[in-house]
Structure 1
Amino acid sequence: MRYGFIGLGHLGRYLAGSLLKAGFDLTINDLDKANARTLIEGGAKWADDPQALAEKVDCVITCLPSPKVSEAVLTGPRGILSGLKSGGTWIEMSTLDHNDVTRLAAVAADKGIRMMEAPVTGGVHKAATGEITVIAGGDKDLFELHKPALQAMGGEIFHAGDLGKAAVIKVITNMLAFIHLIATGEALMLAKKGGIDLTDAFNIIKASSGNSFVHETEGQVILNGSYNINFTMDLAVKDLGFALGFGKEFGVPLDLAEQAMQTFIRAKAAYGGGAWSSQVVKLLEDATGTDLRAPGFPAEL
């Protein structure tokens, strides 16, 4: 099975790298060839555009920043559908709205291409070690066909059901993470203002009923001051927008998600859309004139 991978950003470069390490025949493409340099040195083949890539492979994997970009790469001039042969597969690992997933799947199907969605969750640091969680949606036989590739890229692999279902649960996991991130910042600031050593506070919370995955991971990059979680404010606002859209569609009031959205919008306005999402906590630091630095935490996860 020959795979192509388009989108070598903070996340995609690690996912593609895991495929390469596992011995898969891999062709890659990105707007910036510099992002591909290490992969090319490791044996990946370069294609100048999505069509050229698709012409050389059986399955194209995309990991892109927005539904608009995914659609352009799929259907635009020199896009995937111009090069991938009928009977091929498109695996979309980007975070999309479930309606975008089903709509783009229909577009691909018209060209004889089957689609599977496979968004990931758990953080870029887990992608770097091949341990990120993969949530697949689509036909079960297609899932089984490409399961070895998914297992190469991730740790726990789930099949969530029909197309669109993985998009919904992925957005739910991100919604929870953003809410937990704001709560972690508030908890650490309370500890700081209460005169508790922040290293002690981190460890006590980690061992408590108030612990979360976000506290264990993003809590560290807050305390070391790097905020570097390789996930931007723009992406956080996008994903919270998806969650709130699901709330309206499914008739579920999302009070905490709505409040989190407003907090992230303020953080984006203050620090820019390209700032790391964990810098949302900096709003609280700036408001109180107190930082949340603690010695002893690594510069990166």
Structure 2
Amino acid sequence: MRIGLIGLGGMGRGLAKNMAAKGIDLTVSDLDQSRVDHAVGLGAKQGSTAAQMAADCDVLMICVTTAEAVQSIALGPDGALAHMSPGDVLVDHTTVSAEHVDLMRAQCDAAGVRYAEAPMTRTPAHADRGEVNILFGGDEELIEHLRPVFGTYAENIFHVGPAGHAIRLKLIHNYIAFANVATFCEGFALAAKEGLDMSKVIGIISAAGGKSGMMDLYGELTLLRDFTPHMSLSNAQKDVRYYAEWLEQAGLPGFMAQSVHQTYALASIMGHGDEGCTAVIKAYEDPTGVEAKLPEAQ
């Protein structure tokens, strides 16, 4: 299969690296030419426009940041979809909205193109090592068709159910994860304001029911003041926003979701959107001038 990949950011960069290393016929594109040059140095080919890549490839993958970005690439007379052939596959690796997935599937069906809903979990470090998790929603034949490609950069490929289920499960997962981050950051900020020993704070929480996967990943880094954007705050805000909108569309109360979203939104408005997701703690710290940190933090 001739594979095209649009989007070489945190996750896409690792996907390209592993596909190229394992002999995939890969063409890449990104708004940042330095990312393209890096992928070409690893064995990929440089693509041109989305339309041309769509015409030249059997499988076109899009791994960008938002549903709106995917639609700008794929839809319209100059979009990728208009230049794909019947039977081609459009793989959507972006964390998008539930509404977007339903729209894209309908558009692809009308064009005779197979839409592969395949959001990912884990971090850019996992992508670099070829260890992402892929959540796939759709029919068995399509996932088996793509499995040899997915297998070059995924540790786990989960077939979670029919069309539409993968993105919905991904949004639930991300909401829970980012709500957890917002919660422990709030607690850390309060502990710091009240003068608690932060090494004891994180030690006690991690030894009991407050322990979580996100705290294992980011708790100590937060208190070391390391806000490297492994997952940016702006992306966290976007994912929680999609979840909150979907929750409302489903007719469920969204008190908690809106609170989490507005906390990330405030931190972003304060200028921390390009930092890591745990920079949400600064929404609590900045007004007080107190930082939650371990004694060894710089």
TM-score, length of structure 2 as denominator length: 0.91
Aligned sequence identity (%): 29
Structure 1 distance, partners of 2:97, 2:105, is 12
257-266 vs 17-26, greater mean Cα deviation: 17-26
- Segments of structure 1 that go 5 or more residues without pairing to the other structure are none
Please state how far the C-alpha of 1:230 moved relative to its aligned partner. Answer: 3.1
CA contact (8 A) 1:221 1:229 kept: no
130-139 vs 113-122, greater mean Cα deviation: 130-139
Structure 2 distance, partners of 1:82, 1:176, is 37
CA contact (8 A) 2:189 2:281 kept: no
Find the residue that maps to 1:160 and give its secondary structure.
strand
Structure 1 distance, partners of 2:99, 2:287, is 39
Please state how far the C-alpha of 1:82 moved relative to its aligned partner. Answer: 3.8
Corresponding letter in the other structure for 1:62: I
CA contact (8 A) 1:99 1:164 kept: no
Question: Partner of 2:129 in structure 1?
Answer: 129
Please state how far the C-alpha of 1:143 moved relative to its aligned partner. Answer: 0.8
Question: Partner of 1:287 in structure 2?
Answer: 287
TM-score, length of structure 1 as denominator length: 0.90
Structure 2 distance, partners of 1:113, 1:264, is 37
278-287 vs 248-257, greater mean Cα deviation: 248-257
Please state how far the C-alpha of 1:22 moved relative to its aligned partner. Answer: 2.6
CA contact (8 A) 1:3 1:60 kept: yes
1:74 equivalent to 2:69? Answer no
CA contact (8 A) 1:124 1:229 kept: no
Question: Partner of 2:158 in structure 1?
Answer: 158
Question: Partner of 1:100 in structure 2?
Answer: 100
Structure 2 distance, partners of 1:89, 1:263, is 38
Question: Partner of 1:195 in structure 2?
Answer: 196
Structure 1 distance, partners of 2:242, 2:46, is 33
The superposition leaves residues 98-131 of structure 1 with CA deviations (integer Å, 9 ceiling, x where unpaired) of 2211211221222221001111112223222222
CA contact (8 A) 2:133 2:154 kept: yes
Corresponding letter in the other structure for 1:110: A
Please state how far the C-alpha of 1:240 moved relative to its aligned partner. Answer: 1.6
Corresponding letter in the other structure for 1:9: G
CA contact (8 A) 1:5 1:27 kept: yes
The superposition leaves residues 19-38 of structure 1 with CA deviations (integer Å, 9 ceiling, x where unpaired) of 22232221111122211222
Structure 2 distance, partners of 1:124, 1:191, is 31
Cα 1:149–1:87 shift into 2, 3 Å: same
Q: How many residues align?
A: 297
Find the residue that maps to 1:152 and give its secondary structure.
coil
CA contact (8 A) 1:67 1:96 kept: yes
Structure 2 distance, partners of 1:296, 1:111, is 58
Question: Partner of 1:35 in structure 2?
Answer: 35
The superposition leaves residues 1-25 of structure 1 with CA deviations (integer Å, 9 ceiling, x where unpaired) of 2211101112211122222223222
Question: Partner of 1:114 in structure 2?
Answer: 114
Please state how far the C-alpha of 1:61 moved relative to its aligned partner. Answer: 0.7
Structure 2 distance, partners of 1:156, 1:67, is 24
CA contact (8 A) 2:5 2:62 kept: yes
Structure 1 distance, partners of 2:244, 2:97, is 11
273-282 vs 4-13, greater mean Cα deviation: 273-282
Corresponding letter in the other structure for 2:130: G
Find the residue that maps to 1:208 and give its secondary structure.
coil
Corresponding letter in the other structure for 1:246: W
125-134 vs 87-96, greater mean Cα deviation: 125-134
Find the residue that maps to 1:87 and give its secondary structure.
coil
Please state how far the C-alpha of 1:79 moved relative to its aligned partner. Answer: 2.7
Structure 1 distance, partners of 2:34, 2:155, is 28
Please state how far the C-alpha of 1:78 moved relative to its aligned partner. Answer: 4.2
Structure 2 distance, partners of 1:154, 1:254, is 33
C-alpha root-mean-square deviation of aligned residues, in Å?
2.2
76-85 vs 242-251, greater mean Cα deviation: 76-85
